[in-house]
Structure 1
């Protein structure tokens, strides 16, 4: 699976598909990840790795990207 390039700068929070992401607790992020398309999940993953680095959120985003890869990249 192609993962976001770690050399690509993390997006700023205004560029993220989850509003007010910077202030959301993990459980709120988990509730929203299933609605992300591939581009959105990659942006949030880059931001999470760069700024918050919460292992459960990173694992959830990676699982979402695997799911999207199987389904052709479309959000449900």
Structure 2
């Protein structure tokens, strides 16, 4: 499953935005990931892909990222660089 365009190294557990991430069940992650930004979600997604690959967790993180992208597109911005050219 390929989510990322760049070839950044996989994050280590010390770089994760959620303490004790490895010990959280999926249910615990739902509330802990709700307020994370794009970069933090991407770090978790990279880590999960490289280390645990739990399908329900991958789906949760990918859905959170999609939600952020959809909200961002709804603001009238185009990929963070202002309004699209007309």
- TM-score normalized by structure 1? 0.80
Q: Quick check: 15-24 or 48-57, which moved more? A: 15-24
The answer to whether the 8 Å contact 1:30/1:57 transfers is no
- For structure 1, the residue ranges without an aligned partner over 5 or more in a row are none
Q: Which has the higher helix share?
A: 1
- Give, in whole Å, the separation in 1 of the partners of 2:6 and 2:56: 18
Give the ranges of 4+ consecutive aligned residues of structure 1 lying more than 6 Å apart after TM superposition.
none
- TM-score normalized by structure 2? 0.72
Higher relative contact order (CA 8 A, sep 6+): 1
RMSD: 1.9
Aligned residue pairs total 71
- For structure 2, the residue ranges without an aligned partner over 5 or more in a row are 74-86
